[in-house]
Amino acid sequence: MAQVRDQRPDGRRARGDESRRAILAHAIDTASVEGLEGLTIGRLAEAARHSKSGVATLFGSKEQLQLATVEAARQVFIDEVVEPAREKSERGLSRVCALICEWLDYSDKRVFTGGCFFAAASVEFDSKPGPVRDAVVAASSEWEDYLTISIQRAIDAGELPLLDDARQLTFELVSFLEAANTRSLMYSSVEPYDRAARAARTRLIALGGDAALVETIGVSTSAS
């Protein structure tokens, strides 16, 4: 009987994991609007209908809560941008176009209330050294590295014959996307996404990208 009991799911742990996910969902949304520094255990306990002591037990400290929030936001970004692009496209220029489209949709449909979580967190922590800044940098770098690898594969396949620096194009595309995110929030408008999509299309075509493929870049109708 002891062996049977040992194999049963740990109900308390399952409830703890569920509580942690619920609290982090509130934390991500709050931080996207008010910043990671705006997170407090008391406020999240109230929003998620948990006790302060329960939230404190789950995360330990404000810094640990911030770090957990960054990691949760990273996973949401992968689920919303990277994985759909992988599923919908082949490696190379098609993947680059898909990543741009998925990023525009992710920002436009407000997966996070405050737009792109990492665009906001990067501004908040760009001059604040420490573990939270390191986590934001690592997550942002992971995205940019993946985009760079995708661009390099397009170069290697001869799909961007006039480009010899994948990292430079990553810088340009990310700049277009983050500018669209910020301006859309500021002006409550979808126009910045259309302009960012046009800028990306123009740049890729100028580098020799197939116009028919590149013209697919834009915000999906369902996202707007």
Name the residue ranges covered by the structural domains of the chain. Answer: 63-214
Q: How confident is the model at residue 132 (pLDDT cuts 50, 70, 90)?
A: very high
- Alpha carbon distance 124, 121 (integer Å): 5
Angle at which helix 131-156 crosses helix 166-187, to 10 degrees, equals: 120
Give the rounded percent of residues in the chain with a pLDDT score beyond 70: 90
- Alpha carbon distance 124, 128 (integer Å): 8
Mean pLDDT of 109-133: 94
Q: What is the structure's pLDDT at 14? A: 55
Identify the sign of the CA torsion 146, 151, 157, 159. Answer: positive
Global pTM value = 0.88
38 Cα distance to chain centroid? 19
Residue 81 near residue 102, CB atoms below 8 Å: yes
Indicate the average pLDDT of the chain. Answer: 90
What is the three-state SS of 106-150? HHHCCCCCCCCHHHHHHHHHCCCCCHHHHHHHHHHHHHHHHHHHH
**At 85, which amino acid appears?**
A
Q: What is the structure's pLDDT at 10? A: 56
Q: How confident is the model at residue 52 (pLDDT cuts 50, 70, 90)?
A: confident
Q: Check: CATH 3.40.50.2300 for 63-214?
A: no
Q: What is the structure's pLDDT at 39? A: 87
Residue 24 is encoded by which pair of tokens? Answer: 């982090």
Summarised one tens digit per residue, pLDDT across range 12-45 is 555 656 778 888 998 999 899 999 998 888 878 7
Closest CA to 135 of 71, 72, 207: 71
- Alpha carbon distance 182, 188 (integer Å): 10
Region of 14 on the Ramachandran plot (φ > 0 left; ψ -120 to 50 alpha; else beta): alpha
- The H-assigned helical ranges of 60-210 are 62-77, 83-88, 93-108, 117-125, 131-156, 166-187, 191-206
Is residue 73 over pLDDT 50? yes
